[in-house]
Structure 1
Amino acid sequence: MTRLTQYAHGGGCACKIPPGELEQIVSGLHGSGNHSELLVGLDTGDDAAAVRVAGGVALIATTDFFTPVIDSAYDWGRIAAANALSDVYAMGGIPVVALNLLCWPRDTLPMELAGEVLRGGLDVATKAGCHVAGGHSVDDPEPKYGMAVTGTADPDRLLRNDSAESGTPLSLTKPLGIGVLNSRHKATGETFPQAVDAMTTLNLDASTAALAAGITAATDVTGFGLLGHAYKMARASGVTAVIDSRAVPYLDGARSALAEGFVSGGTRRNLDWIRPHTDLSAITESEALLLADAQTSGGLLLAGTIPGAPVIGELVARGEHTVIVR
């Protein structure tokens, strides 16, 4: 098998631009014209944009792509598609149509592998009931793949990251540890089916259950880690997120991968970013790294409870810190 992960400097959502740098870049970008139809934009750094269109529908728009997270071309395509679709689910929407985004080193890697990547993306989108209608490709020294996805939602029932309220429990719908297992895979070639299963599981059921439960605040846990995404939600909502580190679920093998040093640079940057805003005094540095682990196609962090999702903390009135870990 061609080791696709060896053709990229990083892997999956760990290759994102550091969150602190990204916020500086977009801080002055506010668009122009009438914003009355724009329901969710840049202001809170939510998972996708939402615009009210004719017929009383909210149009959800997002894009996500990244370097190879695993060596299997087909599974990488599946993971990237599930990750892109997740942004729509995290807003309470249903994906309708997707466009492929493909960067490929055509003189280095066989085009047949690119076809396997696209086949994986198509299979997951089909499972989600989402059309794939073309896309765009670029000859690039480093392989990258993802999708631009458009979906729809009820504008009065959006899941947002700025509507969380004090006194509400926090739930997580997928275990953490994807990042350290992917880092181990990149370094050693070992395979971890439990990580692939987690990354290719759609967040459709979790999103549907959240809406049915009357939940209004959610975000998906991806490249900025649980701590980073909890921080963004709490900051946008004007509350403090209190996380019970003992209640957070992890994939089998995650702790041993951490102990052996398989920590991405993206995870370390996540921790550096949230450290000034987070009380980490009750846990070790290793535990903090796991909580900041850069996830790819992770679960939903919900301000509320649904069946099957463990409660990992609560939201309280804003205090000295935006996030507290116990």
Structure 2
Amino acid sequence: MASYSFFDLIDEVFKKVKEPLSEREIWDKAKELGVDKKVGSVGKTPWKTISARIYVNMRDNLNSKYVKVGKRPTRFYLREYQEEEIPSEIEKKLESKEQFKKNYKFNERDLHPILVKFINEDQHFKAYSRTIYHEYSLKKQKGENKWIHPDIVGVYFPFEDFDKLTTDVQKSLSVNSIKLYSFELKVNLNFSNLREYYFQAVSNSSWANEGYLVCLEIKDDAELMNELQRLSSAFGIGIIKLNSEVVSQSEIILPARDRSDLDWTTIDRLIGLNENFKKFFIHITEDIKIGKVKSEYDPIKTDDEMDVYLRNKDFGS
């Protein structure tokens, strides 16, 4: 008896679902239907294998049984079903997918404690942070302050990594090991909001050593990742994906470009505009003077406190 292949899985999913699907949606549906267990070894990213199988089949067969339907994200379909349905019906199916939105029971600021804990405990950052509340900024004429305030700012101090003598020598040599970070936080990232969110992060992070766009959900789509990589290479903003189940498993998807020179003109402007930002720099100055972290930054939840917080917020729904 022939073994059950990825092609068998793809065809079975399409025949049961009868709608265009991306490679990840095909795999998710396969798991939902229980047919994923029919395939032997699948590896860590079976949806990429699915994508490769379909693309090779389309490339090598002029009349491939698979067709590509729609863009961003690319979805696939069985040719026989595409020919049976009128184009408008397929478009309606795709349109309904793209217009569907989750009814989130939380907002962006509910994600702040997750990011605060992650950047404090992650070895790349080891940062103390402060939330910047936009509503506390001085009111200016419409549009003047658009995309200037980051959601969260962070600072790394070398006090715990270097001996006091080392930090004293750095001071005497005017060497600065302190790093400043800027974070723009969003719930969901997809093609429809990519450029707006990314360039908001570019604008809000121009003053810092490293700037990041942070998201809870990032649409699993090859074209989206390619565009993110292109933007990151051009503009230097990194991407962080939060994990709302295990905070420590949040990850830097794309690293930020490290800028050695801070934008002091923008920093001065932000200090004058926002009381939160001003206090952040007051605290940094005070801690540098005494050589230890004594100021009040955003509270960092313990593991137990975070477990309770995540359960109460129900980020997975």
Q: TM-score if structure 1 supplies the norm length?
A: 0.28
Q: Higher relative contact order by CA 8 Å / sep ≥ 6: 1 or 2?
A: 1
Task: Give the structure with the larger strand fraction.
Answer: 1
Task: Give the structure with the larger helix fraction.
Answer: 2
Q: TM-score if structure 2 supplies the norm length?
A: 0.29
Kindly name which structure, 1 or 2, has the bigger radius of gyration based on alpha carbons: 2
